[in-house]
Amino acid sequence: MINALSSSSSSRHLKRILLASALSAVTLPAMAQSSGAIEEIIVTALKRSTNLQETPIAISAVSGAALASMGATGISDYVKAVPGLSLVDGGAGQRRLVIRGVQGVGEAQTGLYYDETPVTGSPGTSNDAGARQPDMFLFDVERIEVLRGPQGTLYGAGSMSGTVRVLFNKPNMTEYEGAVDGTVSNTEHGGMGYKINGMVNAPLVEGKLAARAVLYYNNQDGYVDSNILGSNINDEKTWGGRFLLRAKPAENLTLDASVHIQRTDAYVGGWDGNNPRPYQSAYAIDMSTKDNSEIYNLTANWDIGFANITAVTSYYNRETKVPVDVTTFMKNIGQPMYTPSVLFYDPQNVNNWTNELRMSSLGEGALHWTFGGYLEKRKAYIVSAQYMSDPISGERIFPYNILTSRYIEDSLKQKALFGEVSYDFLPELTFTAGTRYFNYNKDIVGSTTIGFAPIGAIKTPAAEAHSKENGWVFKFNLSYKPTDHVMFYAQAAQGFRPGGANQVIGLAESLTPYDSDSLWNYEAGVKSSWLDNRLVANITGYWIDWKDMQVQGRTANNAFSFVSNAGAARIKGVEFEFIARPLDGWQIGLTGDYRDAKLTKAQVNPNLNANLLSLGRKGDRIPYVAKFSATLMTQYTHDVGNNMNLMVRGDVSYVGSSYSEYQPTYVYYTRSPSYTLVGARTGLEGSDGDWGVYVFVNNLFDKEAIVRRTSSAFGSNINFSAPPRTFGLNAKKNF
């Protein structure tokens, strides 16, 4: 079947069929179904189970069923469904999650957890671990929780502005289960793609021991062309799996073990923003990258009656190999050129051990509490080299190939004690206070080799850099619930992320260490449900004061980047979520946010004069932060008999414009225009959800939706965009 669809004539025929189906899905009239009230979702964001609408923080939850309905398999798919959450997208493996516009270089500002494991990217040579947050494939997911605002009193791993938790389904200890899900698609300006995913669950000892295994394979054809490298060069292949084991040796003790392995081969180059034709490569070198991630986790939960004790041990390993064409950059800085092209090759490895021990109260009393300790040890190994290379194959040229190379070992150790206490002064009035004590040490050792082909090279002696800091962050929350369906809350919370140290040849000693940056987030919100829970309306307003910002500078010759502290910012905004069921079976959702993110203090640092034009002035907007974004979604399900439902879904997403740099006068300042994307999905499914067949279209009007535009010392305006119009057929079966 797949081979038959690969021909151009079959591909065009498939497009016509799917386009007609998608358009008819959008225009179908509403009809009734049996379900009425909006589904209640239970979350564990506070380290205990609470109803989403009764959790007094800014939190959104996307269920596994909702992810499946929107066809979401990665970060870029679910971001649009959550207010206040955005993405700085540099392609596969090069993405930064952003909450409430808190965006910049350095360690991640948004914590990312897969189950109980915090994950991050390698800091690289630029100390920018937050720009490379891992993107594990989403299949067999229980839900995703997005906690907006600082979460340091309960979470670590860079939860300065918020936390994203991806929670996978756990083994079922009483029933055998299985699932298979397959998709075939065709992308405009590109070709065919397919996905195949499967899950099997087996209770090995009923009620005592169970196993769950997940496998997935995603082959997505590209849509960027190159005169030298050929057509559709930005294809992407992702494959991997999870194995989970759950044991219950006693009624009050649960043990979970999991292994998650993923491999990705993808092109990371974007396309040429200077070319009048879209989707044309700006590079002459193949920039295919390899990204391998592994997550190992052991979690124990022990119910001792008045409290639950949780012990977590996790190990995370990630290896990436990223080639970049830096030919134009090398010419710009005056480096002698002995070949027509130069390849920047950047293999990196990061491994991270995390341990957490916490205790959370149980019961329905007036007092609730959580206390715990956290330990993290991260090691990163970075080799960064520039090679003379063949302009067609991208292969390194021997024997005189090295122009410049760097080797860095980066070590980060974090220790923390944390806790929160909530007390119900009245049944409807609750006060919460929390704190976190942190202590970190950052150590870097490395050397630089400067090549002067073809006469030899000079290697600098190994050099070390160190940074350490400790301190406290706090959180205060007051919630008031005058009725069962309305809750008001106000919160003041402090966020921070670690500083670090630069290992750069010739850098001034005063610039070697840099400090943590921190912020205070003030917010107030209301959560409400109306009309027998057929209408949910949640609104939050916030104000953020961010100081000692971590910013990127460059050495006088523009060859090396580093991180320092300078400036302050103010971010104010409003987030909203509205969900309605005007008729049985018909649901409408509107989510969005407005944010105004500007500097309140110029990024003045006398040691950064080498690149003053790139530093922000008072009033400049924070880069890659749109002022407004919103998503409108509607879904309709109707019983058509024979235990079958007709499902129709449509969504429209809008993202406002943003800018790549602070200063409009800076030579690399460029604008990412606003864009609107329309998608639709329709099909037949079993009334019990055990099977479904759907057709879908993403980017219905084939917009050039530029999610990020960058112009840099590498010499080109580069666009990263959502895929062009994509038609597809999806089928699933649960057993």
Question: pLDDT tens-digit profile of 662-676?
Answer: 988 887 888 999 999
Across 157-166, 256-265, 658-667, the highest mean pLDDT is recorded for 256-265
pLDDT in tens, 292-321: 999 999 999 999 999 999 999 999 999 998
Using pLDDT thresholds of 50, 70 and 90, give the confidence band for residue 713: low
Sheet strands (E) in 29-116: 42-43, 50-51, 59-63, 85-89, 95-99, 110-114
- Give the Cα separation of 571 and 198 in Å (integer): 43
Total domains in the fold of the chain: 1
- Give the Cα separation of 80 and 664 in Å (integer): 28
Using pLDDT thresholds of 50, 70 and 90, give the confidence band for residue 13: very low
Distance set, CA 605 to CA 9, 617, 620 (Å): 61, 12, 16
Residue 468: CB partners within 8 Å, gap ≥ 6? 439, 440, 441, 442
Structural contact between residues 330 and 339, judged by C-beta atoms closer than 8 angstroms: no
Cross-strand partners of 153: none
Using pLDDT thresholds of 50, 70 and 90, give the confidence band for residue 105: very high
- Give the Cα separation of 422 and 431 in Å (integer): 6
Is the pLDDT at 336 greater than 70? The verdict is: no
Q: How much is the pTM?
A: 0.91
- Give the Cα separation of 507 and 359 in Å (integer): 45
Low-confidence winner among 374-383, 503-512, 644-653, 676-685 (lowest mean pLDDT): 503-512
CA end-to-end distance (rounded Å), the chain: 24
Of residues 721 and 606, more confidently modeled: 721
Low-confidence winner among 83-92, 197-206, 282-291, 469-478 (lowest mean pLDDT): 282-291
Of residues 249 and 8, more confidently modeled: 249
Structural contact between residues 546 and 529, judged by C-beta atoms closer than 8 angstroms: no
Share of the chain above pLDDT 70, in %: 88
Quick one: the chain helix, strand, coil %, rounded to 5? 10, 60, 35
Using pLDDT thresholds of 50, 70 and 90, give the confidence band for residue 24: very low
Q: What is the pLDDT of residue 395?
A: 65
Q: What is the pLDDT of residue 715?
A: 52
Cross-strand partners of 308: 303, 360
Q: Which residues of 708-731 are buried (b: 16+ CB within 10 A; e: fewer)?
A: bbbbebbbbbbbbbbbbbbbbbbe
pLDDT in tens, 517-529: 999 999 999 999 9
Q: What is the pLDDT of residue 329?
A: 65
Which has the closest alpha carbon to 120: 140, 106, 104?
A: 106
Q: What is the pLDDT of residue 9?
A: 42
Q: What is the pLDDT of residue 555?
A: 74
Q: What is the pLDDT of residue 19?
A: 40
Output the six-digit token pair for 394.
């991208």
Is the pLDDT at 612 greater than 90? The verdict is: no
Low-confidence winner among 324-333, 478-487, 677-686 (lowest mean pLDDT): 324-333
Q: What is the pLDDT of residue 454?
A: 47
Which residue range forms the structural domain that includes residue 94? 2-734
Which has the closest alpha carbon to 97: 136, 41, 124, 55?
A: 136
Residue 711: CB partners within 8 Å, gap ≥ 6? 273, 660, 667, 668, 669, 670, 717, 718
Q: What is the pLDDT of residue 288?
A: 84
Is the pLDDT at 184 greater than 90? The verdict is: yes
Share of the chain above pLDDT 90, in %: 67
Using pLDDT thresholds of 50, 70 and 90, give the confidence band for residue 45: very high
Q: What is the pLDDT of residue 711?
A: 78
CATH code for the domain in which residue 328 is found = 2.40.170.20
Chain-centroid distance of CA 262 in Å reads 16
Is the pLDDT at 265 greater than 70? The verdict is: yes
Using pLDDT thresholds of 50, 70 and 90, give the confidence band for residue 281: confident
Across 230-244, 505-519, 655-669, 711-725, the highest mean pLDDT is recorded for 230-244
Output the six-digit token pair for 726.
């994509």
Distance set, CA 381 to CA 107, 297, 335, 351, 650 (Å): 16, 22, 27, 9, 45
- Give the Cα separation of 90 and 464 in Å (integer): 30
Average pLDDT over all residues of the chain: 88
- Give the Cα separation of 304 and 666 in Å (integer): 60
Which has the closest alpha carbon to 201: 226, 231, 174, 161?
A: 174
- Between strands 402-426 and 429-451, the pairing is antiparallel
Is the pLDDT at 511 greater than 90? The verdict is: no
Of residues 91 and 692, more confidently modeled: 692
Output the six-digit token pair for 109.
């500002």
Of residues 131 and 307, more confidently modeled: 307
Low-confidence winner among 206-210, 317-321, 555-559, 576-580 (lowest mean pLDDT): 555-559
What number is the average pLDDT over the span 549-563?
A: 79
Is the pLDDT at 111 greater than 90? The verdict is: yes
Sheet strands (E) in 532-643: 535-547, 550-554, 561-565, 568-583, 586-601, 628-641
What number is the average pLDDT over the span 394-415?
A: 77
What number is the average pLDDT over the span 717-723?
A: 91
72 class by beta-carbon count within 10 Å (0-12 exposed, 13-18 middle, 19+ buried): buried
Q: What is the pLDDT of residue 386?
A: 77
